[in-house]
Every structure is written in C-alpha cells, then in structure tokens.
Amino acid sequence: MTSSCTRFLSFLAVSLVALSACAAGSPKSPETSATTSPEISVQPAESSARLTQISAGTYHTCALTSDGGVKCWGSNGDGQLGDGTDESRLTPVDVKGLTSKVTRISTGFTHTCALTSDGGVKCWGWNSSGQLGDGTDESRLTPVDVKGLTSKVTRISGGTYHTCALTSDGGVKCWGWNPFGALGDGTTKDRFTPVDVKGLTSNVTQISVGGGHTCALASDGGVKCWGYNGGGELGDDTFEDRFTPVDVKGLTSGVTQISGGTYHTCALTSDGGVKCWGENPFGQLGDGTTKDRFTPVDVKGLTSKVMQISAGYAHTCALTSDGGVKCWGDNSGGALGDGTDEDRSTPVDVKGLTSKVTQISAGGKHTCALTSDGGVKCWGENPFGQLGDGTTTGRSTPVDVMGLTS
C-alpha cells in the first residue's frame, strides 16, 4: 500500500472514530450515510431582512441577514444550528444570541462560526478536537467566544474539524484538529485555542479551510497551503503532508479567490478563470478527467467571466459574471443541479439559475445560491433538511428555502 493511501485511510479512520462517538442521527463523516433518522422539526420562519451571505456545511446550512442576524437549518445533532437544541430543522431557525452585529458566517462539518462587527469570533456545534476554540472539547448548542479572538478578526473559515481566522494585520490563526498539520503551527498537536500559522503573520487577504488542509491567499496574489496532502490538495506537486505553509506551484500571483473542498482546492484567477488541484475521482477538478492532480489545472470552459467559486465535499461550483451558476464533480445526490444524478468532469449549468445569483456555497452533497432579490435556493441531498424547503426530499434542481424568499 502506498504512503498516500495509508495517510488517506488514517484520515478516514479518524472520521469513523468520530462517527461512532456521536449521537444517533448525527452525521460524522462525509463518506458515511446516516443509518438512523434524526428528530426533525419544521418551523417556517419569515424574515423581514434581506440576506447578505450563505454558507453550506456538510449537512446543514446558514444564512446571514442584512440586520446582522444568523439563521440555520438542517442537521443539528451536535448543536450546529445554534438554536439551543440538538433537533434537526427543515426550515431556518434563529441562532440564539446572534440576532444582530454579525458580519460573516462559516459552516464546517458539524460546527458553525460567526464573525461579529467588533471583530470577535463565536462558534457552536461539535467540539471534539477544539474546533470551537473555547479552550474545551465540549460541544455547544449556542455560540461561545473563541478565546483570544474578541477583536481584530476580518475573515473566518470552518473546515471538517478545524477553524481558522484572518486578522486585521494580515496574519492567520487556526485551532482544532491537527494530525496532518492543518493548523500550520509546525506540529501535529490539536489546539483548543487559536495558534499562529508559521510564516503567515502578515500580507494574507483570504483564507479557506478544507477537510484536513488549509490555504491562504497573499496580497501579491499567490497561494500557500498546508496540512493533509494525500490527494495533492496542497498543490506543491507532492502528496507529502505539510505542517507549515508551502507555495502552490504555478500560483505565485494573479489569484483573487481560493476555496478548499474536502480533498481538493480551487482558485479564481484575475482574468476570471478557474484552476483546481487535488483528488478527482468524480471530476471535481473540472478538467475533463478523473485523474488526481498535484498541481493546478484549468477547469474546462471556465477561462474567463467567473466571479466566485466554491468547493464542496467532492463537487465544485462557479458563479459567472452574468449571474449564472455552473457546477461539476460528484452528482450522486443532485448537488450539481442539472436535473440528473450523473457525475460531471466539466461544468454544467444549474437549471433555472442562469442569472440573478449573487453568491454560491457548495456543501457536502448540496449547494445553495443567494439571489439578487435576497432569497436562497438550494439543491442536492436533503436527509436532514439542509435544503430548507420543509422536506427531507433530495432535489436535483434548485428549490426555495422556506421563509427566505425575499
């Protein structure tokens, strides 16, 4: 067995251990289907505020309102919806204590974090490896402060079992699960409070956390990644895990956005093109093959006019300049939104979303889009209500999230 396979199986084994420790009905691995159904509640919620951001996790979704409040829906076995319960929700519910003053949100595997207007960070949900950053391993049903991050944070990103923050001075801090070096502090020690990423104390403009890896966009347009690298998701032309940041080959400038999936990563270039690298069994790199890539390759047909990208578990989506959405990769649950369950190794249009979309977010096996009228549409797998349409029925084309139509 190759060392790459050994590391991958080690990564998977940790996920399966986590799965066995969870309450029934609370999913703990992107690769593992839940065998029991959670308690699920339908509570239609009408919002008087417009929506300004969406974030799709593995089995749950959250939205930020224009008045700074947060609403979430879907799986809630570990409190990732933040409503004070562990009851899954088929429609949006308010996150307790976060009805105003939130400026950004980020959903991870089974936890969620919010950036407040004073530059502080609050997280909630599963906390087995310290991914909430409150100094404990105790899961939380409502938001708690991340220790040491009460101000001066400008961006946040949550992954499978770890979380990172970008500070106002351009530095990066991470916390949580670290057996493959995803925290970037030069160790493999889990951290329950934030630690500095080595060599990234300034000049970083964006961060993106994947499954077991993390990437940062520098002010000069270059990309650096660190952590798990079994599928080449660090882009340094190896499958060697890295405990501190390394340059992504060929991307030392000209990048405007990055997005980390579970085992792959993508970048948006200044000319509106998209490049991806890492694992590719479902075509999630979009190069027309299912071959893993250890350095960036172009996504076919997307060499210009892309405004935003989002990488999910094993699929990727792009928002185009005309407000349309295209997706590619794993489509077993309908996450590509083209009306089929056929995997695609090159981008396909999401049905009914050829214009008027302002933001996208790819989750585990579902995807969501924010429209220009402030509504949200989602599609893909839906066993825990992560599509927010009041059902647990999977959808291969977009449906409206109940209560968030304007």
Q: pLDDT tens, 21-76? A: 343 344 333 333 332 334 565 554 444 568 999 999 999 999 999 999 999 999 99
pLDDT at residue number 29: 36
pLDDT at residue number 49: 67
Which parts of the chain have pLDDT scores under 50? 1-6, 8-9, 12-38, 44-47
Tokens representing 239?
């499958």
Assigned domain for 117 exists: yes
For the segment 121-132, what is each residue's pLDDT rounded down to a tens digit?
999 999 999 999
Give the single-character DSSP code of 37: P
CATH number of the domain to which 272 belongs: 2.130.10.30
* Closest by Cα among 14, 11, 83, 13 to 45: 83
Question: What is the rounded distance in angstroms from the CA atom of residue 117 to the CA atom of residue 104?
Answer: 9
> By the 8 A CB rule, do 58 and 40 touch?
no
For the segment 351-382, what is each residue's pLDDT rounded down to a tens digit?
999 999 999 999 999 999 999 988 999 999 99
pLDDT at residue number 374: 84
* Closest by Cα among 353, 366, 298 to 320: 353
Assigned domain for 34 exists: no
pLDDT at residue number 11: 53
Number of separate domains in the chain: 1
321: helix, strand or coil: coil
Nearest-10 Cα torsion for 350, 355, 360, 365: -10
> By the 8 A CB rule, do 305 and 328 touch?
no
Query: Which parts of 324-405 are beta strand (E)?
Result: 325-329, 344-349, 357-362, 366-371, 376-380, 395-400
Assigned domain for 406 exists: no
* DSSP per-residue codes, 107-167: E-SSEEEEEETTS-EEEEE--TTSTT-SSS---EEEEEEPTT-SS-EEEEEE-SSEEEEEE
Assigned domain for 7 exists: no
Assigned domain for 131 exists: yes
pLDDT at residue number 22: 40
pLDDT at residue number 39: 54
Q: Could you list the residue range(s) of the whole structural domain that residue 180 is in?
A: 40-400
Assigned domain for 182 exists: yes
Assigned domain for 388 exists: yes
Assigned domain for 15 exists: no
pLDDT at residue number 17: 41
pLDDT at residue number 57: 98
